[in-house]
């Protein structure tokens, strides 16, 4: 059976060059980067090199890069660290603005801050195309607003948010605030396809993860603009400029640096063509199918559909039995029976949201694989709708 992987938003395979760069740091160059002897200095140099690669990519200073265990930790540090710093100086509860369709690690962090009485949160809903209106953020700003967190590219429907326009709103209005409004973006799904120059974006904090860009799992980074008021949320050693305690994951950090160095935006053009081909074929050949989110303002590797009269889990399992990997949404929510919070935020009814399917392409995806996928998908959709129709018919006859 030929296996086709169309779930690159969940994770990507480690690039051969990335693996090659990492291997020596598991057994040959195994020193602790905080040790002052030769073994430690060798590891420290590797960490510094990766930090420089990331700084060049983001157009920032090396001292503004903090290595983490991934985007989840980076997002937690960004939000909780800013709130913690604020409470050290103020006696009033701060206000945070975020969006209703952020990744769960941002939403759950916000809910945790709310529950503990540490922050007041406003959740901005996107329009039906999955785009946040910057004016809605403007309307939500209060005197105690200290942070806006809006993801660059949505992890489920792939829509691209107007980050620079949001920044302009935060910069231009003369708010009577207690402190400057900081701006954070989760760029995990953007880093491989969009310009993440932090100066152009105008963000104060930006987070991303290695395993979405053909790097290793368990490593990520948080950019923190110099001068940003933030406190550590994990106590221990003085690693990462005293902002992230714990022995540095040297092989992972080396792999992250290498994966960032291999990013080529020209690959996005090939994916864009394949993605548009996929969207056109699905909408044409499968009745009652709908693309979720704007096609224009969308990541080149993402296509998210809703199919009427079926469950997305059934589609995923049916495709998996045919050797094809897709998902219904975020990999972090696979165990949940709840409909996608992203689709609900777009105004979709729960029964419709259950029938979603996310297809995310990778740099090695081919047109032939897309054709095979669509053929298998058509057959599975037809079969599941037939089963669904029979169940509804039996229910109607029993309750007539």
- Write out the two tokens for 361: 């392409």
Handedness of CA 309, 313, 319, 321 (dihedral sign): negative
Separation of alpha carbons 17 and 3, rounded Å: 23
- Write out the two tokens for 251: 């092989």
Nearest-CA neighbor of 240 among 222, 252, 228?
A: 222
- Tell me whether residue 92 is exposed, middle or buried, using C-beta atoms within 10 angstroms of its C-beta: 0 to 12, 13 to 18, 19 or more: exposed
Under 8 Å between Cβ of 198 and 58 = yes
Nearest-CA neighbor of 204 among 134, 149, 263?
A: 149
196 is a catalytic site residue: no
Catalytic residue among 105, 110, 196, 332: 332
Count of other CB atoms within 10 angstroms of residue 376: 17
Handedness of CA 63, 68, 72, 77 (dihedral sign): negative
Separation of alpha carbons 19 and 259, rounded Å: 10
- Residue numbers annotated as active site: 332
């Amino acid at each position: 059976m030929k296996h086709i992987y169309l779930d690159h938003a969940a994770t990507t395979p480690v690039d051969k060059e990335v693996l090659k760069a990492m291997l020596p740091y598991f057994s040959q160059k195994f020193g602790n980067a905080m040790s002052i002897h030769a073994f430690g200095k060798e590891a420290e140099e590797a960490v510094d090199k990766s930090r420089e690669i990331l700084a060049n990519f983001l157009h920032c200073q090396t001292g503004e890069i903090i290595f983490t265990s991934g985007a989840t930790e980076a997002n937690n540090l960004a939000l909780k660290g800013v709130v913690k710093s604020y409470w050290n100086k103020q006696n009033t509860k701060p206000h945070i603005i975020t969006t209703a369709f952020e990744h769960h690690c941002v939403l759950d962090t916000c809910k945790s801050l709310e529950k503990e009485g540490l922050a007041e949160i406003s959740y901005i809903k996107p329009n039906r195309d999955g785009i946040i209106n910057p004016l809605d953020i403007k309307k939500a700003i209060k005197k105690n607003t200290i942070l806006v967190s809006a993801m660059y590219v949505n992890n489920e429907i792939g829509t691209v948010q107007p980050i620079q326009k949001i920044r302009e709103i935060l910069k231009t209005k003369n708010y009577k605030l207690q402190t400057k409004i900081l701006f954070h973006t989760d760029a995990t799904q953007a880093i491989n396809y969009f310009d993440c120059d932090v100066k152009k974006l105008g963000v104060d904090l930006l987070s991303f993860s290695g395993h979405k860009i053909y790097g290793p799992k368990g490593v990520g980074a948080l950019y923190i603009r110099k001068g940003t008021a933030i406190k550590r949320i994990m106590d221990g050693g003085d690693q990462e400029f005293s902002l992230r305690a714990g022995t540095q994951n040297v092989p992972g950090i080396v792999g992250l640096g290498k994966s960032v160095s291999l990013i080529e935006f020209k690959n996005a053009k090939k994916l864009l063509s394949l993605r548009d081909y996929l969207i056109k074929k699905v909408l044409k050949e499968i009745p009652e199918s709908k693309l979720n989110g704007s096609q224009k303002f969308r990541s080149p590797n993402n296509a998210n559909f809703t199919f009427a009269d079926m469950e997305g889990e059934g589609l995923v399992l049916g495709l998996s039995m045919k050797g094809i990997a897709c998902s219904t949404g975020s990999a972090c929510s696979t165990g949940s029976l709840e409909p996608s919070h992203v689709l609900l935020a777009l105004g979709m009814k729960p029964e419709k949201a259950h029938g979603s399917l996310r297809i995310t392409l990778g740099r090695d995806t081919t047109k032939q694989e897309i054709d095979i996928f669509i053929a298998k998908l058509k057959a599975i959709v037809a079969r599941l709708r037939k089963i669904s129709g029979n169940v509804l018919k039996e229910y109607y006859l029993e309750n007539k």
